[in-house]
C-alpha cells in the first residue's frame, strides 16, 4: 500500500483534516499522553532554520513514545550530489516518516515519489500546510463548533497564503487577500480555485466580517534579498488593533511567526486581546502529533 504523504491540502477531505484537528484538541487536553508512536522513528531533513516546526515535531513524536533524528541538508550526501531519489529509498528503510523543510517544493515531490514511508511538508516555497492545521485548530479551540466564514489575509501572498487558498476551498470559507500589485498569489494555485478567494482593492474590504485576520512577514524565508525593496512597497499592508475593529467583533488575530513588530504588525499587535498567536504556536505541537498518528497508524 502506498504511504500517505502530507505535502499540501489538495488530496484530503474536510472530514479527514477535521479528524486530525479533533485529535489534536484531544491530545492537548490529556495530562498523560498515550505512547501511540512507541518504536516509531521520525527523520527531520531541514535546509532552513526553524523554531516551531523543529521543536514541535521533535517533542511531539518523543512525547508519544517515538524518537527523532534531525538532519540538516549539509549532514546528508544530498549536499555532495547524491540524488534525492536515492536518499529517499535509503531513509525509507530506516525511518517510519520524514519531515522535510525546503526552499524547493519540487524536492518534496521527487522525494515523496521515491519514498515508501510518509513524507510531511514542514515548509516549502509553495506551501506550509502544517501551519494551517494549527490555525484551524486554534479557531476551533476558541470558537467551538462555529464554522469559519471568512479569513482576511493582509500582506505578501506567500506559501502560508497558498495553503490558506487550498483550505478555503476544502473548508468552504471566503478568503479575502489584500496585497500589493506584483505580489499576488501563485497564478496556478489561485486560478485552480473557486471564486471564494478574492483579491480586494482595500484593506477595509478584506477585513469586513472576517473571523480570522492573519498575516506573515513581508520578507519570507526564501526572499531575504528583497528586504529593503519590499519594506517600501508594503507600507500600508500591516495589521494593527484598528484593523481588528473593521473585522467581525469576535475575530481572532493569527501570525505564523516569527514576527517583525513595526512592519507587518504594529508593536502591540501580538499582545492585543484578539491575538491568539501564542495558542496558535503551541498548537503546532498537538496537531502535528495527531497528524503523525494518522499517517503512521491508520
Sign of the torsion formed by the C-alpha atoms of 2, 159, 285 and 134: negative
Task: Determine which helix (DSSP H) or strand (DSSP E) holds 109, and give its type and residue range.
Answer: helix 105-113
Identify whether 131 is a catalytic site residue: yes
Query: One of 243, 284, 288, 289 is an active-site residue; which one?
Result: 284
Could you tell me which of 132, 120, 103, 121 has the C-alpha nearest to residue 216?
132
Identify whether 216 is a catalytic site residue: yes
CA 293 to CA 10: how far, in whole Å? 20
Identify whether 54 is a catalytic site residue: no
Could you tell me which of 155, 193, 146 has the C-alpha nearest to residue 174?
193
Cβ-in-10-Å burial (0-12, 13-18, 19+) of 186 comes to middle
251: which strand partners? none
Query: One of 5, 23, 128, 255 is an active-site residue; which one?
Result: 128
CA 20 to CA 141: how far, in whole Å? 13
Identify whether 96 is a catalytic site residue: no
- Quote the cell numbers at residue 191: 486560478
Query: One of 216, 280, 286, 288 is an active-site residue; which one?
Result: 216
Whether residue 292 contacts residue 133, with contact meaning beta carbons closer than 8 Å, is answered with no
CA 141 to CA 36: how far, in whole Å? 23
Identify whether 52 is a catalytic site residue: no
Sign of the torsion formed by the C-alpha atoms of 156, 158, 160 and 166: positive
Query: One of 243, 256, 280, 289 is an active-site residue; which one?
Result: 256
Identify whether 179 is a catalytic site residue: no
Query: One of 5, 52, 96, 131 is an active-site residue; which one?
Result: 131
Query: One of 5, 23, 101, 255 is an active-site residue; which one?
Result: 101
For the chain, strand residue ranges (E) read 41-46, 67-72, 97-101, 119-123, 150-154, 174-178, 197-199, 212-215, 252-255
Catalytic residues: 101, 128, 131, 216, 256, 284
Amino acid at each position: 500500500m502506498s504511504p500517505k504523504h502530507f505535502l499540501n491540502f489538495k488530496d484530503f477531505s474536510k472530514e479527514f483534516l477535521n479528524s486530525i484537528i479533533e485529535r489534536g484538541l484531544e491530545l492537548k487536553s490529556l495530562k498523560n499522553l498515550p505512547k501511540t508512536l512507541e518504536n516509531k522513528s521520525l527523520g527531520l531533513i531541514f535546509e532552513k532554520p526553524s523554531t516551531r516546526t523543529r521543536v514541535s515535531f521533535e517533542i511531539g513524536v518523543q512525547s508519544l513514545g517515538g524518537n527523532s533524528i534531525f538532519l540538516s541538508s549539509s549532514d546528508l550526501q544530498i549536499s555532495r550530489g547524491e540524488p534525492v531519489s536515492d536518499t529517499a529509498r535509503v531513509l525509507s528503510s530506516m525511518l517510519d516518516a520524514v519531515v522535510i523543510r525546503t526552499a524547493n517544493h519540487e524536492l518534496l515531490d521527487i522525494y515523496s515519489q521515491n519514498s515508501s514511508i510518509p513524507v510531511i511538508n514542514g515548509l516549502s516555497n509553495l506551501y506550509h500546510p502544517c501551519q494551517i492545521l494549527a490555525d484551524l485548530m486554534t479557531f476551533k479551540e476558541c470558537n467551538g463548533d462555529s464554522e469559519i466564514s471568512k479569513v482576511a489575509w493582509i500582506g505578501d501572498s506567500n506559501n502560508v497564503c497558498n495553503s490558506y487558498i487550498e483550505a478555503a476551498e476544502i473548508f468552504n470559507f471566503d478568503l479575502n487577500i489584500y496585497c500589493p500589485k506584483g505580489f499576488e498569489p501563485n497564478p496556478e494555485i489561485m486560478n485552480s480555485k473557486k471564486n471564494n478567494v478574492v483579491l480586494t482593492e482595500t484593506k477595509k474590504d478584506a477585513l469586513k466580517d472576517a473571523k480570522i485576520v492573519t498575516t506573515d512577514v513581508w520578507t519570507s524565508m526564501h526572499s531575504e534579498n528583497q528586504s529593503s525593496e519590499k519594506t517600501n512597497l508594503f507600507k500600508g499592508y500591516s495589521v494593527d488593533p484598528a484593523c481588528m475593529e473593521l473585522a467581525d467583533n469576535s475575530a481572532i488575530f493569527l501570525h505564523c511567526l516569527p514576527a517583525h513588530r513595526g512592519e507587518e504588525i504594529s508593536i502591540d499587535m501580538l499582545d492585543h486581546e484578539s491575538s491568539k498567536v501564542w495558542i496558535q504556536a503551541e498548537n503546532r505541537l498537538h496537531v502535528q502529533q495527531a497528524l503523525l498518528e494518522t499517517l503512521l497508524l491508520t
